[in-house]
Amino acid sequence: MVLLASLASCTAPRSIIHSGRVTPHGQFKVGANFGGNLASEPIGELKDVTEDAIKALANRDSVYYDGLVKSATKAAIAYSLDPVGPTFDFYVRYGVLPRVDVGYKYASGVHVLDAMYQFMGPEAGTGAGANLDWYGSLGVQYAGQKSDIFDKIFLGKLTPILEFKATRKDILVPLVFSRSFGPDEEFGNISFGVAYNHTFVEYGLVPGRLYEKIGGGKAVQLEGLTRKQSFGSYGLFVNGKIGVKRIYLLPALSMFYQNYGTFELLKSETVDYSGITIVPSIGVQIGLGQGKSSKR
């Protein structure tokens, strides 16, 4: 049985640590987060495929398409849609305008860009805020990655028989509300909100030593395929920021539901995926710079 907790992979970056208050104009934030991506669909598919069975299959000179190959294919697609495993990211944010900040994040091998617009609450960094003020912001995040999925888990041993490739692009739109601890979030905040994520996937199955019996004792090599698919995810999240003197601890928890849709397998077979994903994280954040708002 696979030890899912030991998998390290390129996961969709959906940990949401934003507050409703953006980075003050002219200031920086830097930080790092540790967490995980726990998705019900790939966990369910992987539990039916053992490493010993894949090793035995890979050692054959030729392999005929059967239930085990089908299960491994289903597991690989599910895992590429929502990889299970630990996550790590580090990031930098900058307040480019009084109510707008932008950020760059490097998340478990994925490059991520985003921007947030604050539409509610006092302007950050001006000293106009008070204890328990409410803030609100809306953002957009883009991430793109390639996934050599079989290289990430034990299914890599199956590559001479069936190679799997996938690329994906994710667009995340979070709506965040937060309540300040101290004026201008001096001691942190509590934040919550909703999020929508849309994923665009292109995947390919390339058979190697994989054949199909067609009768009369004959066998033919299976044809590969390349397909495109997209799906939406709907999320809720809560996070906190606790600290003093611009050094903060950030616990966060997000949960998403997604109907991934119908995906084509070899031999024109199909499979439907849907499930819940839980994304916990804990991080540290440091504020840098005096900012332009404070100089007015």
Q: How is 118-139 classified by DSSP, letter by letter? A: EEESSPTTSS---TT-EEEEEE
Q: Facing residues of 139 across strands?
A: 116
Of the candidates 92, 94, 90, the one whose C-alpha atom is nearest the C-alpha of residue 27 is 94
Considering the domain boundaries, does residue 217 fall inside one? Answer: yes
Considering the domain boundaries, does residue 11 fall inside one? Answer: no
Q: Per the confidence metrics, is the pTM higher than 0.95?
A: no
Tokens of 133: 């003020």
- Tokens 């934030």, located at residue: 29
Considering the domain boundaries, does residue 7 fall inside one? Answer: no
How far apart are the C-alpha atoms of 157 and 161, rounded to whole Å? 9
Contact in structure between 17 and 283 (CB atoms under 8 Å): yes
How far apart are the C-alpha atoms of 80 and 148, rounded to whole Å? 9
Tokens of 221: 């090599």
Considering the domain boundaries, does residue 255 fall inside one? Answer: yes
Considering the domain boundaries, does residue 151 fall inside one? Answer: yes
pLDDT tens string, the chain, 296 residues long: the values are 333 333 445 566 889 999 999 999 999 999 999 999 999 998 888 877 777 777 777 777 778 888 888 888 888 888 888 888 898 999 999 999 999 999 999 987 889 999 999 999 999 877 766 677 899 999 999 998 876 555 656 667 777 788 888 888 999 999 999 999 998 888 999 999 999 999 999 999 888 888 888 877 788 888 889 999 999 999 999 999 999 888 999 999 999 999 999 999 998 899 999 999 999 999 999 998 776 655 55
What is the domain range of residue 244?
19-295
Domains contained in the chain, number: 1
Of the candidates 235, 110, 91, 254, the one whose C-alpha atom is nearest the C-alpha of residue 169 is 110
- The H or E element that residue 214 is part of is strand 210-215
Which amino acid belongs to residue 64? Answer: Y
- Tokens 């495993």, located at residue: 85
Q: Could you tell me the CATH number of the domain that includes residue 149?
A: 2.40.128
Considering the domain boundaries, does residue 193 fall inside one? Answer: yes
The number of helices, as runs of H, and strands, as runs of E, in the chain is 3, 13
Using DSSP's 3-state secondary structure scheme, residue 84 falls into: coil
Considering the domain boundaries, does residue 170 fall inside one? Answer: yes
Considering the domain boundaries, does residue 12 fall inside one? Answer: no
